[in-house]
Structure 1
Amino acid sequence: MTKLLAVFGNPILHSKSPQLHNSVLSSSHIDAYYTRIRVEKCEDVVRAIRQFNILGANVTTPFKECLLPLLDSLSPEVEQVGAVNTIRNENGVLTGFNTDYIGVIKSIEEAGESIFGKRCLVLGAGGASKAAVYGLMKAGGEVFIANRTQSKADGIAGLMGCVSIPMNDVNELMSNIDIVVSTLLPDVSMPNFRWNAGIKLLLDANYRKSKLGEEAEGFGIRVVKGDRWLIHQAVAAFSIFAGYEPSVEMLSKAVQIPLDANSLKVKTVELGKKFSLDERYDFIVATEGLSDFEVNRIIDEEKHKAFKG
């Protein structure tokens, strides 16, 4: 019987994780496929994994932090980071891992920059930001974090031992910063941000060009986009699922494969009810108690974000 793996998020249709994992599964002749699943609540991630017997899952916004108390076991790095992005299902026992921090380290090192001894600034304070702080500190960086909601940055600083600074004070620090990691949304602009020639690079969590990335490039700053972060965390995640690491080269080719809007296969399932996945679907909407109108609205919103940005 074909095994199932998936990535969960809200929204999720834009995710390139299926292209990465399916390329490896296909080349390895493993009878499994990897899809995208949209759920509305954090607890529905766990319900869907158990109901669909998903052997391995990845998790993105907004579920990376709320899942922690719902899993059976947490790896040491998840307990330190406070966020999960990978779940392994072993006979119904769900264990959470974090490979995002590996993606941060590998993306920066791949770009030819050493993190050790560098002063690093993380923008944002969600689950990905926590992983970035953890990875940068683990690699020997001196880390600062800034977020518009100061209390969130303060919480991460208190948990991990980095330095929290008010967003309004970031420019006072910029002349001494070597590496910037942004987990901000793509439409967030910081036109008064003082980019300078001493900054080695910006690691941007977004796949597509973001306003912040464009502003950095305008000042001659090298921008490493989120697809490199995605690829390196996927290598580590696949190893958790299958026991071996796929090649970065293979995933680098796979990430370029576009999702075809004209041939998109969508499936709607009701949580708690029996169903069969008789085909391989690009996108599954797992709902409970929603009307057809509400489900269609979700699908339309996902398509708009995935194909029109």
Structure 2
Amino acid sequence: MNSIYAVAGNPIFHSRSPVMFNAALRELSLDGVYIRLAASSGEEVATTMRAIGLDGMNITSPFKADIIPYLDEVDRDAQVIGSVNTVLHKDGRLRGFNTDVDGVLGALAQAGFEGKGKSAVVLGAGGAARAAAVALLSAGAKVTITNRTDRNARQAAERVGCDQVPLEEVGRTLKGAHLLIGAVSTHDRVIDRQHIHKGLTVLDANYSKPTALVQDAASVGAKVIDGREWLLAQAVPVFERFTGNAAPVQTMRQVLMKTRRDGRTNIALIGFMGSGKTVVAEAIGAKTGMTVIDIDTRIEEKAGTSIAEIFEKSGQEAFRRMEIEEIDGLRSMSNTIVSCGGGAVTRRPNVRVLRNNCLTVWLWAGIEASLNRIGETGTRPLLHGQSREQASALLAERRFLYA
């Protein structure tokens, strides 16, 4: 596998970007994978991108502005908007871009909406809202921003060069409006239903489930544009920037528009030795009441000896056979948190079982953190007596397997 791409946000499990990008990579027989990255800050996103060596990343809420100070370059459009939704990692440098303008214009074009001379209201003041306003202004529309926090709306409007109105006064503006774009994080009602009328076209950036805005628009007969059209239209230039290949748009559209409930109820934690899998598994189990299984502990209990002794007396392959047997047992389990050994992903049977039966989560910790946690106990056979450089090489060898 040559390339690892990701989408970073918090929360991030809802994102459909991996579905689109992985389908596109397969369609073109490109050697790569696209994953989700849950992080706590823009700084952590940038640091992790460098540490793992991710080739490209999409950025979603709440990090679109937060990540900018940690990038080496930001293109002009992203600077104007004050928001980055795409980061390219090349030659050791992180370069930020914004394709949300493409997303808005593409979604409107797909729906046959012509912005020139039309009146549009944008709800929100963050990166997505500012990108929507810039897109509409470029299309020749008259744009007004409104937001729950009036000060943020004023700042956003000043930044992009459009009008602004307090949320409590937006009803008057909406009376003559042709388009309403929702770009706030909440799914709850922000604009009173009485202000939504049949003559509006409504596009909401939230696509994971219908927002109150979308439901209100549908109830009065307003035209609703699926938010996934925005997601798709912004993803096309990202894919092409990441891979240098024309995006297979129809393939991406087909998988994106399919709504399929994930039936997997197990969670498998994978990652390098010392990444915290056992501790996190126990914490999740305590919070959710799910059963917790530690694969290494189960092997030791059945063998009646430690893993270090299994390696010493029987060899690594004997241990891997025992590991495959334990992981295969997940086929018949449900609602279980599984802490896997650091090398479980090196065996294809394990990967197949985990992929088909578990939501698999890669816990990342840098090599220093991992080695500090492991200490000098000698309980990790593949690291016992090894140097930091050798441990780093082992982690680098496995990073594609974890992804």
Say yes or no: TM over 0.5. yes
Q: Identity over aligned residues, as a percent?
A: 32
Match of 2:39 in 1: 39
The equivalent residue for 2:113 is 113
Distance 1:157 1:172, change over 3 A: same
Distance 1:286 1:59, change over 3 A: farther
- Rounded to whole Å, the distance in 2 between the matches of 1:193 and 1:80 is 34
Residues 124 and 264 (structure 1), Cα distance of their counterparts in 2 relative to 1, 3 Å cut: farther
1:131 match: 131
Compared with structure 1, are the counterparts of its residues 215 and 175 closer, same or farther at alpha carbon in structure 2 (3 Å cutoff)?
same
What's the CA shift for 1:121?
0.4
1:50 matched to 2:55 = no
Give the distance between the partners of 1:3 and 1:263, measured in 2 at CA: 29
- Counterpart AA for 2:196: W
| 1:39–1:285 contact (8 Å) kept in structure 2 | no
Distance 1:2 1:264 in 2: 29
Distance 1:226 1:41 in 2: 25
**Aligned length, in residue pairs:** 288
CA distance in 2, matches of 1:209, 1:257: 13
**Letter of the structure 1 residue corresponding to residue 77 of structure 2:** E
Work out whether residues 269 and 286 of structure 1, in 8 Å CA contact, stay in contact via their aligned partners in 2.
Answer: yes
CA distance in 2, matches of 1:131, 1:284: 32
Structure 1 letter corresponding to 2:125: A
Spell out, residue by residue over 1:162-203, the C-alpha distance to the aligned partner (whole angstroms, 9 max, x if none).
00100000011112101110013212353344122332x100
- Change in Cα spacing, 1:45 to 1:156, as seen in structure 2 (3 Å) is same
Cα distance in 1 for partners of 2:203, 2:211 equals 11
| Residue in 2 that maps onto 1:68 | 68
Q: 1:84 to 1:49 in 2, by over 3 A?
A: same
Whole-angstrom distance in 2 between the partners of 1:283 and 1:118: 46
Letter in 2 for 1:224: I
Residue by residue over 1:50-99, the C-alpha shift from the partner in whole angstroms, topping out at 9 and shown as x without a partner, is 11110010010110001111100011110111000000011211100101
For 1:54 and 1:154, locate their aligned partners in 2 and report how far apart those are by CA, in whole Å.
36
In the alignment, the residues of structure 2 paired with residue 134 and residue 285 of structure 1 have an alpha-carbon distance, to the nearest angstrom, of: 38
Residues in 2 aligned to 1:241 and 1:127: alpha-carbon distance in whole angstroms: 21
SS in 2 for 1:5: strand
User: Unmatched 5+ residue regions in structure 2?
Assistant: 276-341, 370-403
Quote how far apart the aligned CAs of 1:286 are: 4.5
Aligned to 1:13: 13
Q: Is the 8 A contact 1:120 1:179 kept in 2?
A: yes
Partner of 1:262: 264
Structure 2 CA distance for aligned equivalents of residues 198 and 33 of structure 1: 43
Question: Aligned residue for 1:237?
Answer: 238
Residues 151, 268 of structure 1: CA spacing in aligned structure 2 closer, same or farther, 3 A cutoff? farther
1:206-254 deviation per Cα after TM superposition (whole angstroms, max 9, x unaligned) = 1121111101111100111211110111111111101233133211111
Q: Deviations over 1:145-167 (max 9, x none)?
A: 00010011101111111001000
- Name the stretch that deviates more: 190-199 or 219-228: 190-199
1:198-209 alignment, distance < 5 Å: 198-199=199-200, 201-207=201-207, 208-209=209-210
Check conservation: 1:202, 1:224, Cα contact below 8 A: yes
The residue number in structure 1 matching 2:160 is 160
Deviations 1:36-63 (A, max 9, x none): 0101122110111111110010010110
Find the aligned partners of 2:194 and 2:92 in 1 and give their Cα distance: 48
Higher Cα radius of gyration: 2
Q: Is the 1:37–1:285 contact (alpha carbons within 8 Å) kept by the matching residues of 2?
A: no
Aligned residues: CA RMSD: 2.5
Distance 1:112 1:150, change over 3 A: same
Corresponding letter in the other structure for 2:248: S
The 2-side partners of 1:116 and 1:40 are apart by: 40
Cα deviation, 1:115-141, whole Å, max 9, x if unaligned, reads 111111000111111111111111211
Q: Distance in 1 between matches of 2:35 and 2:265?
A: 15
State which drifts further: 112-121 or 190-199: 190-199
| Matches of 2:260 and 2:193, distance apart in 1 | 35
Aligned to 1:212: 213
Gaps of 5+ in 1: 290-309
Shift of 1:259: 5.9
Q: Aligned equivalents of 2:187 and 2:213: distance in 1?
A: 7
